[in-house]
Amino acid sequence: MVWHIAGIFALGALIASVEIPALLKKKRKKDMWAVFLLLGTGIVMNVATILDLNIPSPLNWIKAVYEPFGKAILSILS
């Protein structure tokens, strides 16, 4: 398990070492932050998966937000 996590961090470092210098050279700071954010999120999610942590689905949050609207529309139409 430790080797898997180390591999994920090593792969993330490799990706960052390829992407970041090119973005710095072109002075694309916003793109660089987007790469850091997405790469960091991917690393954290992969490590959480390896550690068998319960990761809630984003669909649960979307359902919680839109379900009241759906019920309100159904009550208006019926």
Mind listing the pLDDT tens digit of every residue in the chain (78 residues)? 899 999 999 999 999 999 989 888 998 889 999 999 999 999 999 999 999 999 888 899 899 999 999 999 999 988
Residue 52: per-residue pLDDT: 92
Q: Where are the domains of the chain?
A: 2-77
Tell me, letter by letter, the H, E, C secondary structure of 19-43.
HHHHHHHCCCHHHHHHHHHHHHHHH
Residue 44: per-residue pLDDT: 95
pTM as predicted: 0.70
Residue 1: per-residue pLDDT: 87
H/E element, 16: helix 2-25
